[in-house]
Structure 1
Amino acid sequence: MSTTIIDEALDLLCANYIFPAKATEAAAAIRARRAAGEYDGLDEEILAARLTADLAEVCADKHLRVRIRDADLHDVLTHDEMAAAYREGLRHANYGIARVERLDGNVGYLDLRQVAEASMGGRAIAAAMELIAHTAALIIDLRKNRGGAPNGVTFWTSYLFRDDETHLNDIYDGPSGRTRQFWSLAYLPGARYPDAPVFVLTSDVTFSAGEEFCYNLQALGRATLIGQTTRGGAHPTQFFPITPTVEITVPMARSVNPVTGGNWEGTGVVPDIEVPAAEAFGLAYRRALEHVLTTPAPASVLAEARAALAGPEA
C-alpha cells in the first residue's frame, strides 16, 4: 500500500506542481529514500507526515502536503463528489462568517474563519457587509482564517473600494501558462464601505486566501494590519485523492501582486503593527474608537465610544 501511495503522490506532483523542476527534484529524492527502505512499515498517517516533510525539504511549500483525509470524505473521490462536499461544508460553516456585529462606539466587527467561493457565499457576505455598512470603522478578524477561494477574496475586498478600478491581485496558472487578473467588482449587492478605516487582525495561523486578503489590502494602503506575521502560503492548490483515506494537495498556481510584483510565500504577511495575536483586537478597537471620536457622530455615539475606550477591551 505504501508503494502505491508514494507512486501516485509523485505522479500527481510531477504532473501538476507549479514548479516542475522542483517536482522532479523532490520525486527523485523520495524515490531514493524509498529505495533505502526509509518508508518501509509505516502506517498511512506516519507515511503522509514523512512524505510531507520530505517534500518540504526540497520545495519549502506550505501548501504541498500529503495528508489523511477527513473521515466524512472517505467515500468522496470524484470531482463532482468533492465539489458537493465542499458546498455542504461551506453551508455548515456559515460561509466562513463566525461573527458579525456592531460594537459599542459604532465600530463594525467581522470574524472571518474561511474565505468562501463568491458564487456560494455571496449572499451571506453581502448580508454581513450590510450589517456593518453604517459603522464608522471596521475590524476584520482573520486570526483563525485558514484560507479559501481567491474569488471570495475579490468579492469581500471589493466592498472596501469605490468602483471597479482597483487591481487587487494576479494569479499565474502553471498548467495553462496564463495569468488571471483580479480587479474590484463593478457591481455588488448592498452598500460599499470605501472610506472608513479598516483594521485587519492577523496571527501565525492566518493562511493562504486569508493571507491574500491581508496582503492585497496592505499593498493598496486600504487597511492597517495588526497582530503577528502570517503563516506564508501563496500558491493556490488542488486536492487529489490518492486512496479513500489519503490525499495530496498540489500547488498549481502562484500569486503575483500588481503593486509589489511578489507575494507572501515563505515569508508570510508582516503586519503594520506587530503585537501578540491575543492583543490585536484590543489595540485595533482602541484605534477604531479614537477615530470615531474625530468624526461628527451623534453625541450618543461619541459617549458610547468614550465609555468603550475606558473599558477593559480597549
Structure 2
Amino acid sequence: MTTSSAAKTPPTPLLPASVAPVIDETVRLLTENYVFPDVAEQLAGLLRRRLADGAYDVEADGTGEPDCTDETAAAERLARLVTADLQSVNGDRHLRLKHHAEQVPQGRGEAVLASIRGDFESSLGGVPRVELLDGGVALLELGPMLFPLDWSAEALGAALTLVSRAQALVVDLRGNKGGDPDAVAFVCGHLLDERTHLNTMHWRGGTRIEQSWSPAHVPGPRFGGSKPLYVLTGADTFSAAEELAYDLQQLGRATVVGERTRGGAHPCEGWTVHPHLEVTVPFGRAVNPVSGTNWEGTGVQPDVPCAAPDALTHAHKLALAELAELAE
C-alpha cells in the first residue's frame, strides 16, 4: 500500500528584523557557556558591533534588498558570516552558527540529534565497512561519525567483536567528523587490555574536572592491547574522531597514518536559535594524561604522513611487515 508523505513545513523567512534576536541569543549563550569567558566577552562585543554596522543584513540576492523568498540562502549566509566572526579570535572550530537545511527542533542538543539520525540509519549505525584484507589484517571503518553510544553500542560492539579475531587491525577515521566521547571510550575498551585513563575534561570556570576511562569490561572478546593497530586520518577527521586517534597514539597503542586532522578538542553543546540555525558553544577543554595537552588548533599529527587516499595502502603494508617481523 502506498501512502502519501507528510507535507513539509514551509521555510521560515529570515527577515532583517529577525536577525537581531538570533545574534542576541547567540551572544547570551556564548557569554554564559563558552569555556574561555574572556574570549566570550571579546566575541560578544564583536558580534554586537557587527550587527550595529549592518554586517549581518540579509541581502542574499545581491540587489541591496533583503531576499525574503530564499530562506535557505539567507540563513546560510548569516551562518557563514557569524561563524567567521566567532572563530576570528582563537580559531575554535567548534564555535559556530550552524545552518540546517531541514527545520530542527528546539531544545539543548536536539538540533544535532535530529540532523544526524539519517546518517546513523544509512551507515549501519556508524560502521559502514568491515573487511578482511590480505594477510589476516582487518579493516574497520567508523563513520561518518561516532554516534551517541545509546544508539551505536550494538553496532560498534558487533563490529569490534568480529575484528577481534584478526591478526592486525586498521581503523579508518578519514571521513569521521566527530561525535560522542563515550563512544570513543567504548571503542578504546576493545583495543586495550585493561581499564585506562584516556582524557580529562576541564569544564568552564576551572572548578570541575571529569576523567574519561576506557571500560573495564566490554561485550564480547577484545582485539586487545598487543596486536598491531593502525589508525587512518585525513583533513576531515574531527573532534571525537581526533580524540580516538590521539588517545591511542599518546598511549603508544596505535600508529597513525595519513594526514593531519582538523584540530577541534573542545567538547560542545548546541542550541536552536532559529528553525534552521543552531549555535554550538564549547563548554570544556580536553587534557590528555600523557601529553598534558590536546590537539586543539594543531590537529593530530600522523606518525606516518601520507595523502589520505593512500593511507590504507600504506597502513596495510606496514601491518603486513610488522606481522612478518613478529613471526620471525
- Asked whether the equivalents of residues 142 and 206 of structure 1 are also in contact (C-alpha less than 8 Å), the reply is yes
Shift of 1:86: 6.6
Match of 1:267 in 2: 298
Query: What is the CA distance between 1:288 and its match in structure 2?
Result: 1.1
Q: Secondary structure at the match of 1:159?
A: helix
2:134 is aligned with 1:107: no
Q: Percent identity?
A: 41
The correspondence for 2:107, drawn from 66, 70, 78, is 78
Cα deviation, 1:201-245, whole Å, max 9, x if unaligned, reads: 111110000100011011100000011100000011111100111
The Cα shift of 1:88 comes to 3.7
**Cα separation, 2, equivalents of 1:56 and 1:112:** 28
Alpha-carbon offset, residue 87 of structure 1: 7.8
Contact 1:87 1:120 in 2 (8 A): no
Greater CA drift, 188-197 or 82-91: 82-91
> Given the alignment of the two structures, is residue 185 of structure 1 paired with residue 202 of structure 2, yes or no?
no
Cα deviation 1:30-77 (Å, max 9, x = unaligned): 211222222223432211111110111123100011121241xx1522
In 2, Cα distance between the equivalents of 1:80 and 1:237? 10
Residues 90-144 of structure 1 show CA distances to partners (whole Å, capped at 9, x for unaligned) of: 3443221110121121101011111122232111111101111111110001100
The structure 2 residue matched to 1:158, chosen from 164, 179, 189, is 189
1:41 and 1:182 mapped to 2: Cα distance?
43
Deviates more, 1:111-120 or 1:212-221: 111-120
Q: Return the match for 2:94 from 49, 63, 84.
A: 63
Letter aligned with residue 26 of structure 2: A
Q: Does 2:43 align with 1:26?
A: yes
Counterpart of 2:128 (choices 98, 117, 122) is 98
Contact 2:104 2:115 in 1 (8 A): no
Q: Hey, what's the Cα distance between the residues in 2 that align with 1:151 and 1:70?
A: 28
For residue 82 of structure 1, report the CA deviation from its aligned partner: 4.9
* Cα pair distance change 1:82/1:55, threshold 3 Å: closer
SS at match of 2:106: coil
Equivalent residues of 1:137, 1:197 under 8 A apart: yes
Residue-pair matches, total: 294
The alignment's TM-score, normalised by the length of structure 1, stands at 0.88
Aligned counterpart, 1:53 = 84
Q: Structure 2: how far apart are the matches of 1:75 and 1:25? A: 29
Q: Secondary structure at the match of 1:172?
A: strand
Structure 2: which amino acid aligns with 1:155?
A: F
1:282–1:87 distance in 2 versus 1, CA, 3 Å: closer
CA distance in 1, matches of 2:151, 2:291: 30
Query: Could you list the runs of 5+ residues in structure 2 that have no partner in the other structure?
Result: 1-17, 60-73
Give the Cα–Cα distance (whole angstroms) in 1 for the partners of residues 20 and 107 of structure 2: 22
Q: Where in structure 1 are there 5+ consecutive unaligned residues?
A: 298-314
1:94 alignment partner AA = L
In structure 2, relative to structure 1, the CA distance for the partners of 1:7 and 1:81 (3 Å cut) is closer
Check 1:275–1:188 CA distance in 2 against 1; reply closer, same or farther (3 A cut). same
Q: Equivalents in 2 of 1:79, 1:171: separation in Å?
A: 20
Alignment RMSD? 1.9
Match of 1:173 among 197, 203, 207: 203
Aligned to 2:237: 206
Alignment match, 1:293: 324
- The 1:63/1:35 distance shift into structure 2, 3 A limit, reads same
Alignment of 1:126-145 (within 5 A): 126-145=157-176
**Equivalent residue number for residue 12 of structure 1:** 29
**TM-score, normalised relative to structure 2:** 0.85
Distance in 2 between residues matched to 1:214 and 1:38, nearest whole Å: 39
> Which is further off, 252-261 or 27-36?
27-36
